Amino acid sequence: MTMTDTKAAFTALLKFVVEHIDIPLSYYQKAAVRHRSLGDWLCRRESRVAHLSPHVSPQGSFRYGTVIRPLTADAEYDLDNVTTLKLPKDAMTQRQLKDLYGLEIKDYARAHDMCAPAEEKNRCWRLKYADEVSFHLDTLPSVPEDAARIAALMAVGVPRDLAERAIAITDRRHPLYDQKTLALLSSNPRGFARWFEQQARPIAVSRIRQLVESRAYATVDDVPPYEWKTPLQVAIQLLKRHRDVMFVDTPDLAPISMIITNLAAQAYRGEVDLGEALSNILETMPSLVRPSAPRVPNPADPAEDYADRWRQDPRLERSFWAWHAQAKADVARLVRALGSGTLEVEVKRVFRLELTEAESRATGRLVSVVSAAPAPDIHIASAPRPWGHGE
């Protein structure tokens, strides 16, 4: 058996795992319905914000196509969106903006039989849905960033099409929360989502074309990212599952998904093979963490640091490096387990899969396929000592 055959077997193993941790397509579709429903509500004639041309933009893993099943059956799926209202930043105070938006969200919750009233968070409002899929939606009110901020982003190298997606957001912890000011917190989740899609889309072209040719979608622009299933997206799903298993007892210390997603997308080089993509992402990640703030910047807003909480709680940085080292070690162990009787044990340990008897037999067949072959050419080198690790 050739090295190519063995690499294919390793990728087949990873795809086998993803089949067990991925969510049904119907969940993505239901999430899209939730976002559209809220947008329709905000734009209805009676809406208090309809005159502000509300634009609802889905965000987070449901937009990126990187959602995974939770480890426990009673866990909720997180939905995120951003609503941008066409207002100057200093047209009203942050409290006034958040309260105005909150009135609509509270009415929406009552009108749609939510399982609980709308809940105010520091930056957003949370809706909890009562149906067969346990969703909660965090919806963030915002206004467009001003021309000066957009120009500043472009001056540090952010492309115009990303910079123009920047927003100013409310935060009730802000010292000027009750004052009209231009000094709102700036963020660019829409720019990040656009950047992520640009990283993933080139390798998704054939998949997108197939979906259009099969008439699942009318045009290539209609195909949502969650349908792409690129090696980047699937590798992120695997890394997130590994993270969830490792931190099942200490979830507050787990590396956040935005750090994993950001670093993985930066590290991805268009690999077609899933096993190669996963190993190269893990190999490259350490070099992408900056030695000083911003440690893990948003490519669409370099001042926005996804690792900003590391400064307040050094345990979070230590946890990230511990997770990264363990992920590399576990990938190497899975590679070594190919062709041995320990493969099923390793898969269960690393990804906490409960396999049926038929699935166990399938794993056994995978073992027999690669048993006569050398280990695949997947290089996982020793990680360099991370900045600040152990200090």
Query: Tell me: the pLDDT tens digits for 281-337?
Result: 999 999 999 999 999 999 999 999 999 999 999 999 999 999 999 999 999 999 888
CA distance 223 to 163: 24
Is 290 a domain residue? no
Calculate what percentage of the chain has a pLDDT beyond 70: 89
The pLDDT tens digits of the residues spanning 135-188 come to 999 999 999 999 999 999 999 999 999 999 999 999 999 999 999 999 999 999
CA distance 187 to 177: 16
Is 61 a domain residue? yes
Give the CB-side neighbour count of residue 195, counting CA atoms within 13 A: 26
CA distance 77 to 70: 8
Residue-averaged pLDDT of the chain: 91
Rounded mean pLDDT, 11-18: 94
Is 338 a domain residue? no
CA distance 283 to 261: 15
Rounded mean pLDDT, 249-266: 98
Is 86 a domain residue? yes
Q: Would the pLDDT of 371 be above 80?
A: no
Element (H, E) at 140: strand 135-144
**What pLDDT score was predicted for residue 369?**
46
Rounded mean pLDDT, 202-212: 95
Is 113 a domain residue? yes
Its domain, for residue 159, covers 25-187
- What's the burial of 184, exposed, middle or buried (CB within 10 Å: 0-12/13-18/19+)? buried
Q: How many domains does the chain have?
A: 1
Q: Would the pLDDT of 34 be above 50?
A: yes
What size, in residues, is the chain? 391
Rounded mean pLDDT, 80-94: 98
Is 91 a domain residue? yes
> Could you tell me the pTM of the whole model?
0.91
User: Quick check: 203 and 194 in contact, CB under 8 A?
Assistant: no
Q: What is the domain-level CATH number for residue 137?
A: 3.30.460.10
CA distance 90 to 28: 36
**What pLDDT score was predicted for residue 365?**
58
Element (H, E) at 265: helix 257-267
Is 77 a domain residue? yes
Q: Would the pLDDT of 87 be above 70?
A: yes
Of residues 47 and 344, more confidently modeled:
47
Is 154 a domain residue? yes
Q: Would the pLDDT of 19 be above 90?
A: yes
